[in-house]
């Protein structure tokens, strides 16, 4: 039997706004106390966290477990999805779902026209949800793909060539414009290019309520892999929007993330093993889109963000958990180490290093896009709702431990400004005397 209480002693407790040396006492899945020299009942487990960081459990904003997609199914499990107007309202009011992802890509499958986006964004605003978009111009992708195949380009490089950066940037700006027209907050998922990131950043500087989500893949690797001579290697990186061949892209996205032009990090984890990717061995348009990330996100962001000196440990916490919890409306239940918060805690050793490899990862997929990457920053112990679920390289959790978090609509972090604008920003008609002159007859 595991003891019911856990005392994490002497670590540096890191939240988004400050870091302090202290103890964290956990009982019944909750953080009971944070402070120094806590009086603790006998028989609890004591974890020494001297020289380590104690950070809130990461929140991955974007995954597709078990997604049925492009003729096959993602190999890492668990996925939820839905659509249509009345169901959106029921989900937001009764089922704790406060965000909806809309696609501007995948023509003839998921792609929505501008008028449909307008209607969906309007409904999101009405019910207090966050409109999320996959921003790529699906029509241009379809035309670009035909062009590449006609040129005899059938390999994974065709995937990037048929949808260059501007295809992503144009759709991002269009989504920002439509969201602004209906005063709806917008969340752009998987921002993959410099050009799209600039659009998000400009929109924020123009005062728009827009959030951009770079993902582990885009921050940790790049699109030069599509030109790799080995087909399986190149195909492993195929996802939409694609990783970009400009090798300065990951660093640029990290700079924007560090400076709050981009807000949160996900992974878009959507994994297909090599034999599934091989559905597109003769035609890149048939390669199932998606890459891994869920296991390595924290390490990749620490390495490229904190170890590189671009962001501090507090910004790391903000972009890996706190901001997500605020946007999706479950802060400070999650995303903070504080009294009464859920005991989702990672004991993080910033000095340890590890090498990422498919040979040692816990995911079902049979390759890893970060293969060989040496990362500073290693999770030593992970606690989920008071239970140690990872320790000494071993997973200690059985299926079913995860819980759905009921999320209320109208997150204040997102909606305060929107509501105020709604009140003060209403256009009004000019008062005039009626026109008395002639009107032609038609």
Contacts with ligand URP by CB under 6 A lie at 64, 134, 190, 239-240, 268, 270, 289-290
> Residue 179 in contact with residue 307, Cβ under 8 Å?
no
Q: Torsion over CA of 82, 84, 90 and 92, rounded to 10 degrees?
A: 70
DSSP conformation class of 84: -
Residue 58 interacting partner from Zn ion, ligand URP, none (CB closer than 5 to 8 Å by kind): none
Q: At closest approach, how far in Å is the CB of 135 from Zn ion?
A: 9
Q: What 3-state class would DSSP assign to 76?
A: coil
Q: At closest approach, how far in Å is the CB of 20 from Zn ion?
A: 36
Q: Quickly count helices (H) and strands (E) in the chain.
A: 14, 15
Taking the least distance from each CB to ligand URP, the nearer of 268 and 295 is 268
Taking the least distance from each CB to Zn ion, the nearer of 157 and 268 is 268
Nearest to 238 by CA among 280, 294, 296: 280
Q: At closest approach, how far in Å is the CB of 134 from ligand URP?
A: 5
**60 forms part of the interface with Zn ion (CB under 5 A):** no
Residue 138 interacting partner from ligand URP, Zn ion, none (CB closer than 5 to 8 Å by kind): none
Location of structure tokens 């019944």: 28
Taking the least distance from each CB to Zn ion, the nearer of 268 and 344 is 268
Residue 382 interacting partner from ligand URP, Zn ion, none (CB closer than 5 to 8 Å by kind): none
Interacting residues of 326 by C-beta distance below 8 A, sequence separation 6+: 335, 411, 413
Nearest to 335 by CA among 314, 349, 320, 315: 320
Taking the least distance from each CB to ligand URP, the nearer of 162 and 239 is 239
Q: At closest approach, how far in Å is the CB of 363 from ligand URP?
A: 15
Report the run of H or E that residue 138 belongs to, with start and end: helix 138-150
**For residues 145 and 159, what is the distance between their CA atoms, to the nearest angstrom?**
7
Taking the least distance from each CB to Zn ion, the nearer of 103 and 348 is 103
Size of the site for Zn ion (CB under 5 A): 2
Q: What 3-state class would DSSP assign to 62?
A: coil
Residue 212 interacting partner from ligand URP, Zn ion, none (CB closer than 5 to 8 Å by kind): none
Taking the least distance from each CB to ligand URP, the nearer of 367 and 390 is 367
Q: At closest approach, how far in Å is the CB of 214 from Zn ion?
A: 13
**For residues 254 and 266, what is the distance between their CA atoms, to the nearest angstrom?**
13
**268 forms part of the interface with Zn ion (CB under 5 A):** yes
Location of structure tokens 């040396």: 21
**136 forms part of the interface with Zn ion (CB under 5 A):** no
Taking the least distance from each CB to Zn ion, the nearer of 62 and 354 is 62
Location of structure tokens 């009942």: 41
Residue 289 interacting partner from Zn ion, ligand URP, none (CB closer than 5 to 8 Å by kind): ligand URP
| Options 138-146, 268-276, 344-352, 375-383: segment touching Zn ion (CB under 5 A) | 268-276
**For residues 181 and 149, what is the distance between their CA atoms, to the nearest angstrom?**
38
Between the two ends of the chain, the Cα-to-Cα distance in Å is 87
Taking the least distance from each CB to Zn ion, the nearer of 134 and 336 is 134
Residue 132 interacting partner from ligand URP, Zn ion, none (CB closer than 5 to 8 Å by kind): none
Location of structure tokens 């953080």: 31
User: How far, in Å, are 88, 189, 214, 411, 421 from residue 97 at the CA level?
Assistant: 8, 17, 22, 12, 24
Taking the least distance from each CB to ligand URP, the nearer of 200 and 306 is 200
Residue 290 interacting partner from ligand URP, Zn ion, none (CB closer than 5 to 8 Å by kind): ligand URP
Taking the least distance from each CB to ligand URP, the nearer of 222 and 268 is 268
| Options 128-136, 169-177, 199-207, 380-388: segment touching Zn ion (CB under 5 A) | 128-136
Structure tokens at 46: 């004591």
**For residues 261 and 203, what is the distance between their CA atoms, to the nearest angstrom?**
9
Residue 12 interacting partner from ligand URP, Zn ion, none (CB closer than 5 to 8 Å by kind): none
Interacting residues of 159 by C-beta distance below 8 A, sequence separation 6+: 226, 238, 242, 284, 285, 287
Q: At closest approach, how far in Å is the CB of 134 from Zn ion?
A: 3
**134 forms part of the interface with Zn ion (CB under 5 A):** yes
Structure tokens at 432: 């005039």
Residue 239 interacting partner from Zn ion, ligand URP, none (CB closer than 5 to 8 Å by kind): ligand URP
Q: At closest approach, how far in Å is the CB of 389 from ligand URP?
A: 26
Taking the least distance from each CB to Zn ion, the nearer of 277 and 385 is 277
Question: Would you give the binding string for Zn ion spanning residues 219-258, x where CB under 5 A is met?
Answer: ----------------------------------------
DSSP conformation class of 321: I
Structure tokens at 377: 């920053």
Task: Work out the angle at residue 393's Cα, subtended by the Cα atoms of residues 307 and 14, and round it to the nearest 5 degrees.
Answer: 40
Contact residues toward Zn ion (CB under 5 A) are: 134, 268
């Amino acid at each position: 039997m595991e003891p019911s209480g856990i005392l994490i002693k002497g670590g540096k407790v890191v939240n988004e706004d400050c870091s302090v040396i202290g103890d964290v006492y956990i009982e019944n899945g909750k953080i009971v106390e944070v402070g120094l020299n806590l009086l603790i009942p006998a028989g609890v487990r004591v974890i020494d966290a001297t020289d380590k960081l104690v950070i809130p459990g990461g929140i991955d904003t974007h995954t597709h477990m078990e997604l049925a997609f492009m003729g096959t199914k993602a190999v890492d499990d668990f996925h939820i999805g839905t659509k249509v107007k009345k169901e959106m309202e029921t989900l937001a009011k009764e089922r704790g779902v406060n965000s909806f992802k809309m696609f501007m890509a995948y023509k003839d499958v998921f792609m929505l026209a501008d008028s449909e986006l307008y209607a969906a964004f309007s409904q999101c605003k009405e019910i207090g949800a966050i409109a999320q978009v996959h921003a790529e111009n699906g029509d241009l992708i379809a035309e670009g793909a035909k062009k590449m195949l006609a040129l005899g380009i059938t390999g994974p490089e065709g995937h990037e060539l048929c949808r260059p950066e501007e295809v992503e940037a144009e759709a991002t700006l269009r989504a920002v414009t439509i969201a602004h027209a209906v005063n709806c907050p917008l969340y752009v998922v998987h921002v993959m290019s410099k050009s799209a990131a600039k659009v998000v950043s400009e929109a924020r500087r123009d005062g728009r309520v827009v959030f951009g989500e770079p993902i582990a893949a885009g921050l940790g690797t790049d699109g030069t892999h599509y030109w790799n001579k080995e087909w399986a290697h190149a195909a492993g990186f195929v996802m939409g929007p694609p990783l970009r061949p400009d090798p300065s892209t990951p660093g640029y996205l990290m700079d924007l993330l560090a400076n709050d032009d981009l807000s949160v990090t996900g992974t878009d984890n959507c994994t297909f093993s090599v034999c599934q990717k091989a559905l597109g061995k003769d035609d890149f348009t048939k390669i199932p889109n998606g890459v891994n990330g869920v296991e390595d996100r924290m390490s990749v962001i620490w390495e490229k963000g904190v170890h590189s000196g671009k962001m501090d440990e507090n910004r790391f916490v903000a972009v890996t958990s706190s901001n997500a919890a605020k946007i999706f409306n479950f802060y400070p239940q999650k995303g903070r180490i504080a009294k009464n918060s859920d005991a989702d805690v990672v004991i993080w050793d910033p000095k340890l290093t590890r090498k990422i490899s498919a040979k040692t990862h816990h995911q079902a997929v049979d390759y890893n896009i970060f293969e060989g990457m040496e990362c500073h920053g290693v999770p030593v112990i992970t606690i989920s709702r008071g239970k140690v679920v990872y320790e000494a390289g071993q997973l200690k959790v059985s299926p079913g431990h995860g819980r759905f978090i009921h999320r209320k609509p109208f997150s204040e972090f997102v909606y305060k400004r929107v509501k105020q604008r709604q009140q003060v920003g209403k256009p009004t008609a000019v008062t005039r005397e009626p026109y008395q002159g002639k009107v032609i007859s038609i």
